[in-house]
């Protein structure tokens, strides 16, 4: 799983730098017990299955995600009544894009890996079928705030999430 | 000006594509939030072009493309994918998609992809090359 995480990080950096104009100033590799892991303000996950049973997760502080939202909105203002849906959508799409950019660098060029649409979560304990209690993450400090990216191994093809 | 249907379950991507299309001069833009909705809206709008997300929950982009093509064999469908995986793209082309572009999308990449499908909308000669 750490190897997969290592493959996501360069694409995360590339996307943030090239598309968002956001720089990662500091990165820290962490291992957390699931019970102690605290999600940031907006968190998105994408399931990978078939050749790899895992979840890719990205968690943003609001200030970090706000910068990405602004880029996706191309100058349009986010109306207050649609803020959550827009922020959730951008969090999901960011995970989707980073994973999509990374998959070709996975073993066997990622062939045979299928991914789901992104899902937004508020509580990591809502994810069932996790294989390990320990989660490997990279915590990133950017010039707009923090975010973290993680890989969670799951047991088999059967997927459940309580939302 | 083309009449275009955007099929994508991501609100932000629908908005982004719509904005790019309008900037490219295509002001008749319809939106569908999943495959089933896309199929219904296609029947209603009969667009010149569909932009189709590959990964959608429920009826995914490949199945939706297949359903549209089986009813409208001349439909032009541009797949939008975040997966640089040959097999998904090949599956899309096999069921009748006209082309694809990778996310993150830019106005330039979208304009060029449209230019490859509809030569009269090509931005420059390079867009006519079948280089994807």
Query: pTM to 2 decimals?
Result: 0.86
The pLDDT of residue A159 is above 80: no
Report yes or no: B7 at the A interface, CB cutoff 8 Å.
Answer: no
Residues of chain A contacting B19 with CB distance shorter than 8 Å: 74, 76
d(CA B41, CA B29) in angstroms, rounded, equals: 11
3-state class (DSSP) for residue A99: helix
**Is A117 in contact with B87 (Cβ distance < 8 A)?**
no
Report yes or no: B109 at the A interface, CB cutoff 8 Å.
Answer: no
Query: Using an 8 Å Cβ cutoff, are A120 and A59 in contact?
Result: no
* More confident call, A114 vs B128: A114
Q: For residue B131, what pLDDT is reported?
A: 42
**Is B57 in contact with A110 (Cβ distance < 8 A)?**
no
To probe the interface with B, which of A45, A52, A106, A115 has the most B CB atoms within 10 Å?
A115
- Confidence band, pLDDT 50/70/90 cuts, at residue A161: very low
d(CA A99, CA A3) in angstroms, rounded, equals: 14
Q: For residue A160, what pLDDT is reported?
A: 47
Residues of chain B contacting A15 with CB distance shorter than 8 Å: 104
Query: Using an 8 Å Cβ cutoff, are B17 and B110 in contact?
Result: yes
**Is A86 in contact with B12 (Cβ distance < 8 A)?**
yes
To probe the interface with B, which of A11, A82, A89, A107 has the most B CB atoms within 10 Å?
A89
Q: Cα B62 to the chain's mean position, in Å?
A: 11
Residues of chain A contacting B84 with CB distance shorter than 8 Å: 100-101, 103-104
To probe the interface with B, which of A72, A85, A112 has the most B CB atoms within 10 Å?
A72
Q: At what angle do helices A62-73 and A83-102 cross, to 10 degrees?
A: 90
- pLDDT beneath 70, residues of chain B: 83-86, 120-132
The pLDDT of residue A21 is above 50: yes
- Confidence band, pLDDT 50/70/90 cuts, at residue A3: confident
A65 phi/psi in degrees, rounded to 5: -65, -35
Q: For residue A32, what pLDDT is reported?
A: 87
Q: What is the pLDDT of residues A32-46, one digit of tens each?
A: 888 888 999 999 999
The pLDDT of residue A163 is above 80: no
| Burial (CB count <10 Å: 0-12, 13-18, 19+), residue A56 | buried
Size of interface A-B (CB pairs under 8 A): 65
**Is A100 in contact with B102 (Cβ distance < 8 A)?**
yes
B122 φψ region: left (φ > 0), alpha (ψ -120 to 50), beta (else): beta
The whole-angstrom distance between B108's CA and the closest CA on chain A is 14
Q: Is the ipTM of this complex over 0.85?
A: no
The sign one gets for the Cα dihedral B106, B107, B112, B118 is positive
Average pLDDT over residues A123-134: 82
Q: State chain A's mean pLDDT as an integer.
A: 90
**Is B103 in contact with A103 (Cβ distance < 8 A)?**
no
The whole-angstrom distance between B72's CA and the closest CA on chain A is 27
Report yes or no: A68 at the B interface, CB cutoff 8 Å.
Answer: no
The whole-angstrom distance between A33's CA and the closest CA on chain B is 30
């Amino acid at each position: 799983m750490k190897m997969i995480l290592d493959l996501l990080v360069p694409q995360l950096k590339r996307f943030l730098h090239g598309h968002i104009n956001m720089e990662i100033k500091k990165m820290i590799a962490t291992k957390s017990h699931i019970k102690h892991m605290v999600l940031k303000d907006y968190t998105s996950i994408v399931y990978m299955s078939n050749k790899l049973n895992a979840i890719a997760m990205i968690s943003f502080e609001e200030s970090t995600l706000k910068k990405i939202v602004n880029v996706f909105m191309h100058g349009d203002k986010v109306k207050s009544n649609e803020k959550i849906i827009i922020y959730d959508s951008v969090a999901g799409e960011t995970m989707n894009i980073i994973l999509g950019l990374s998959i070709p660098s996975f073993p066997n060029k990622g062939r045979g890996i299928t991914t789901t649409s992104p899902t937004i979560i508020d509580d990591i304990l809502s994810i069932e079928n996790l294989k390990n209690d320990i989660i490997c993450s990279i915590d990133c400090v950017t010039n707009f705030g923090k975010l973290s990216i993680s890989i969670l191994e799951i047991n088999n093809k059967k997927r459940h999430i309580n939302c | 000006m083309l009449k275009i249907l955007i099929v994508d379950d991501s609100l932000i991507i629908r908005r982004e594509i719509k904005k790019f299309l309008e900037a490219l001069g295509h002001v008749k833009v319809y939106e569908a939030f999943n495959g089933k909705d896309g199929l219904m809206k296609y029947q209603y709008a009969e667009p010149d072009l569909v932009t189709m997300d590959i990964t959608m929950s429920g009826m995914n982009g490949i199945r939706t493309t297949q359903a549209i093509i089986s009813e409208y064999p001349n439909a032009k469908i541009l797949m939008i994918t975040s997966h640089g995986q040959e097999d998904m793209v090949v599956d899309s082309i096999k069921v009748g998609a006209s082309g694809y572009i990778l996310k993150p999308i830019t106005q330039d990449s979208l304009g060029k992809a449209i230019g490859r499908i509809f030569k009269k909308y090509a931005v420059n000669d390079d867009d006519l090359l079948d280089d994807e």
